[in-house]
Amino acid sequence: MAKEVVKKIKLEIQAGKATPAPPVGTVLGPAGINLQEFCTRYNDATKDKMGDIAPVEITIYDDRSFDFVVKTPPTASLIKKYAKVQKGSVKGRTQIVGSLTKDQVKEIATIKLPDLNANDIDAAIRTVEGTALNMGIEIKE
């Protein structure tokens, strides 16, 4: 018989650095799952993405077992990483704080494609460009 899903939880955690302390512990503790087991499995799954934020979707079952799926890093954090800026513009499009090349935008779009609501790479590129522009990051040829 299939396990019954009790709860689905989404978190954004530093890749490879999950600990049972807050924020992980405060969110997952009431769900009744083994925090240390989750942290160990999550850290093993994300050790190759160290330094990035890796969103995770956790499915908790009635017997307190769990599964999780690691998603791609948020578009904004990838844009900040590639543009080498600490944060986006406070004034959005009107204040430029950094720049990306078309190749960098395509690389980010390729990374994000599995999690984006886009059918092809061109649509993904347009989505990434829109996010970058709204963060005050210009796109150079």
Pair 84, 136 in one domain = yes
Top pLDDT among 91 and 2 is at 91
As a whole number, mean pLDDT of residues 54-81 equals: 88
Among 46, 42, 112, 44, CA closest to 77: 112
Question: Does residue 62 share a domain with residue 30?
Answer: yes
- Give me the CATH number covering residue 96: 1.10.10.250
Range of the domain at 33: 5-70
- Using DSSP, how many helices (H) and how many strands (E) does the chain show? 5, 5
The domain that holds 35 is classified in CATH as 3.30.1550.10
Q: How far apart, in whole angstroms, are the C-alpha atoms of residue 75 and residue 68? A: 21
SS3 state of residue 13: strand
Q: In what order do the strands lie in the sheet with 5-14?
A: 5-14, 53-61, 66-70
Cis geometry, peptide bond prior to residue 22 (ω within 30 degrees of 0): no
pLDDT in tens, 97-108: 888 889 999 999
Q: Are residues 97 and 66 in the same domain?
A: no
Q: Does one domain contain both 14 and 28?
A: yes
d(CA 80, CA 124): 17
Residue 88 and residue 110 in one domain: yes
Total of domains in the chain:
2
